[in-house]
Structure 1
Amino acid sequence: MFNTEVIYVIMKIIWLLAFISNLWLRSHAQLVEKNECATSVHAIIARGQGGGDDLNVMSTLSDLILEQIPGSTTLGLPYDHENVLTDEAKRLTVHDCAVLMQEFVREYVASCPKAKIVVVGYSMGAVAMMDAICGTSEIGFIDVAPLEPFYTKTIVSVIAYGDETYDPGMPWNVGNCILGIGLTPRMNSAMCAPYGDSIHSYCDYGDNQCCSPYPEDGNAAHHGYVKKYNQDVVAFIKKRLAIVGAQSHARN
């Protein structure tokens, strides 16, 4: 019969193998076969905090992209969006999600050199996605370097819903929030500039995270972007695809 020490060693080995397997899956999750590359856009979507699958309410945007942009593919970023119970856990999760987003972009482009990518983030996922693109400049979050400018020719759209790092006055802001500011605003939005033409950051009054608590309606605005702006997002992606396609044609 196994003694306690032997059982402990076996359990440690099982845990280590599972950990290594998870790292391998994360590191190679976007290495795809050439015949699996999107012929239009590939959307990487970081949902907000909470339980459920990796798309959750963002499945509606995913479905619209697939339906209205032929040749597109979508993916819910598989980060730990559920186990975020403290401020420290949130900081760690945002950091890990941002790094993972960058890994997925790099690996997909390595597999599909002609790829056109859309990155999307909602709520906490928007913070992480914007950190992945612009780097971290908000106070209190773990530093992430911005994505290399090399990918500006690949990333055609950067979409944020209810981003608490929202900085008023930026040319990429969309929505009716003009005077409000995010809970943890970006201190150096100039770091986003290489991707500026591709960004749409949606923020409305009544969103406690990105703008202000007024009107006081239970933070309804933060939960209304999907229904209100999904079609606008798809139109923006199509517009950006056309612009990037024309630029590529002109260079050739």
Structure 2
Amino acid sequence: MRLNDIIISTIATASVADAAKARRANCPNIHIFGARETTAPPGFGSASTVVDLVMNANDGATSESIVYPAAGGNEYASSVSSGILAVANQTNTFNQMCPDSKIVVVGYSQGAQIVDDAFCGGPDGTSLNTSMALVSTGVSEMVAAIILMGDPRHVNGLPYNVGNATAGGFAARPAGFQCPAFENIIQEYCDAADPFCAKGNSTATHQGYGREYGQAALQFVQSKLGASNNTKASASTSGGTNDVPASAAGRTRLGEGYMWMLLALGGLVL
């Protein structure tokens, strides 16, 4: 190899290594993924309550929504399939960018179903035909906590269940199901009156988990993050609600927090 070629090759290798270091240096300690419920507009939907609580409690935390149809009716099964893949793909992309960060995943209703399936596998009707988890090994190692609310896959008897539901959801796991790889970092919230995770008849119950269990979910997440050194005092709430509005300075979404970095790297993806 000619000296000039060696120099060019060395510079190129160093540039890639420097870009990777720069990218990792600007990664957050904590990143939250949120998956919305059926028919909710793009964004976090009802998962936003817990996403915001965790964001507000951890300095520098970032977040992004899972991008999937969240469709109902005849398109529900295909929407779940798309959502499962979106969870796997988006978390893996972040793992490749920021392998040293911790992630928290919050799913609500159909959003809980796709998170449940991505991490614990199926089968799930026509939506997923494998019992294996779809998330990568790297993601499995960086996930600190998983919050599921109103999950249609709910089944009685799981060690991470929270709430008074004993009936299964409309897409319930089979009796005896286990998710051993993640069961110690999952909290799944479901009450008996919920028509989607427990065959009840109260849609208000289904929509109320953020208010009812938001602080409990936050405490669970914080205990799993072990983030006492970079944890802010939780904002107090009035009237019993757990909704805490995030300040503009305190909310760093992925599109805002990383866009400059990707532009600086010329769109380089390793």
Pairwise same-fold verdict (TM > 0.5): yes
2:141 is aligned to: 153
- Classify 1:94/1:36 alpha carbon distance in 2 versus 1 (closer, same or farther; 3 Å): farther
Structure 1 stretches of 4+ moved >4 Å: 188-191
1:104 is aligned to: 90
Paired with 1:132 and 1:121, the residues of 2 have a C-alpha distance of 11
1:185 is aligned to: 172
Q: Indicate whether 1:172 and 2:135 are aligned.
A: no
- The one-letter code matched in structure 2 to 1:42 is H
For 1:1-252, list aligned pairs within 5 A: 33-39=23-29, 41-81=30-70, 84-87=71-74, 89-143=75-129, 145-146=132-133, 147-177=135-165, 179-187=166-174, 190=177, 192-213=179-200, 216=201, 218-242=202-226
- The one-letter code matched in structure 2 to 1:103 is N
How far the C-alpha of 1:219 sits from its partner, in A, is 2.5
Paired with 1:130 and 1:85, the residues of 2 have a C-alpha distance of 18
Deviations 1:192-218 (A, max 9, x none): 2101111111000100111131xx4x3
The answer for unaligned runs of 5 or more in structure 2 is 1-21, 230-270
The two structures have a TM-score, normalised by structure 2, of 0.70
Q: Given that residues 122 and 162 in structure 1 are in contact (C-alpha distance below 8 angstroms), is that contact kept between their aligned partners in structure 2?
A: yes
How well do the aligned residues superpose, as a CA RMSD in angstroms? 2.2
The two structures have a TM-score, normalised by structure 1, of 0.74
How far the C-alpha of 1:150 sits from its partner, in A, is 4.9
- Classify 1:120/1:207 alpha carbon distance in 2 versus 1 (closer, same or farther; 3 Å): same
Q: Percent identity?
A: 26
- Classify 1:109/1:149 alpha carbon distance in 2 versus 1 (closer, same or farther; 3 Å): closer
- Classify 1:196/1:162 alpha carbon distance in 2 versus 1 (closer, same or farther; 3 Å): same
- Classify 1:52/1:197 alpha carbon distance in 2 versus 1 (closer, same or farther; 3 Å): same
2:251 is aligned to: none
The answer for unaligned runs of 5 or more in structure 1 is 1-31, 246-252
SS in 2 for 1:33: helix
Q: Comparing 141-150 with 67-76, which one deviates more in the overlay?
A: 141-150
Higher relative contact order (CA 8 A, sep 6+): 2
Larger helix fraction of residues: 1
SS in 1 for 2:179: helix
